[in-house]
Each structure stands twice: as C-alpha cells, then as structure tokens.
A and B are shown apart, each in its own frame.
Chain A
Amino acid sequence: GQSLEQPSEVTAVEGAIVQINCTYQTSGFYGLSWYQQHDGGAPTFLSYNALDGLEETGRFSSFLSRSDSYGYLLLQELQMKDSASYFCAVLNNAGNMLTFGGGTRLMVKP
C-alpha cells in the first residue's frame, strides 16, 4: 500500500516563501504530484515529478528525492490567494492510481 505524510497546517505572511514537505512509503512508485484546493472547490493540478530534482513553474516549484522518499512544494512571493489546501499524491508504479496525502492547509496572512 501507500502512505503519505504532510504537515496539517502552515502559516506564512504575504510575500514570504513557504515549503510544504511530503514523505511517503510505497510498495511501488512512479511519481509525485501536487494539487491545490481552495475551500469548497475542486483540486487543481500544480506539478508532477517523476525524476529527482526541482521542477519550476512560475512562483511554484516542486522537488523530489526518490532515494529519500521525500518531496516538497515551494511557494514563493506568497499571495493571499495562495491560502488553500495543498495535497501531495503518489502515483503507483503502474501509473494508474493516485494516492493522496491528508493535505496541508496554508494560511497566508497580510
């Protein structure tokens, strides 16, 4: 099976940088995805890492270390609209099933 751990809540101020960590234990691993979900909304895709290293998309970056079973999402130049829940999700080695973590609630304060 798969299990993922991420902090339940993170608070940061506008303009700051925040890192949301995700550690996982899996019986098979293909890649790590990150999704954002605003209250009452649907999840939206942020990034996907299949290989070790950093992927950058605008203000958001995602990192993966397969040997450490660890990844993180880095949000720079935080804005109030970034207040949301962020989920890491592990893709199994067949590439056909995503297992989501419990989510990290990010609160951005002025």
Chain B
Amino acid sequence: NAGVTQTPKFQVLKTGQSMTLQCAQDMNHEYMSWYRQDPGMGLRLIHYSVGAGITDQGEVPNGYNVSRSTTEDFPLRLLSAAPSQTSVYFCASSLGLAADTQYFGPGTRLTVL
C-alpha cells in the first residue's frame, strides 16, 4: 500500500512552459485535492474532486487545470507557467469528503524561472 504518490519530486520550468504534476492513490479514496504551499505559509486549495468525473475549483484555481478520469489518479496541469507558481505542491486524498483524515503525498517542489 503506497498511499499517495506524487511525481516528479522536483521540477524547474521556464516561464510559459506547461507541465503536468502526477498524483495517484491506492486507497480507493473518493476525495482528492491539490494544494500549494508557499514558503512560510499555509496550504491553499487549488482544485478538488469528490469522485471520478467530478472536479471543482478551490481557493486559487487560476492557471491550473485538473481532470479525474479514474478514482486513483488526479493530475494537475500548469497551462503556461509563471514565476508566481513557484511553490511546493501537495496532493491529498481522503475516504469521503474533506472532513475525513486527509492523507498527503510527499510534494512536488516547482521552480519557475
């Protein structure tokens, strides 16, 4: 049981490039979410999904897209990277809604030059 996995662990992009951050969980969790954490700050919700085929916006969705074609996977796409998107990105999952224990992945450290 691997829990929540994220790839890559580190990534450097140039302004304007696009990329996809991968997130997968093997716990059959319905709820998945993406957060960003800037240095010395709390986590801010980007997008979330309450089940396969259902996604919704969080607090800071601009510049990011998500899809949920399977229960296991929840990729986050950066459409055109900007320096303001330099951050650590965490994926999380829980059995039901966000009230349940959130299990976080190890994070992806993204730098946009």
Interface residues of A (CB under 8 A from B): 4, 30-31, 33, 35, 41-45, 48, 50, 87, 89, 91, 95-103
Contact = CB atoms under 8 A, between A and B. Distances in A.
B82 to A, nearest CB: 23
Interface residues of B, number: 26
20 contacts: A43-B92, A44-B104, A45-B101, A87-B42, A87-B43, A89-B43, A91-B98, A91-B99, A95-B97, A95-B98, A96-B50, A96-B98, A97-B48, A97-B58, A97-B59, A98-B45, A99-B59, A100-B35, A101-B42, A102-B40
A45 B95 CA distance: 14
Contact of A97 (B40, B41, B98, B101): B98
Given A43-B90, A50-B99, A91-B98, A96 B56 contact: yes
A49 B72 CA distance: 28
A98 B101 contact: no
A45 B48 contact: no
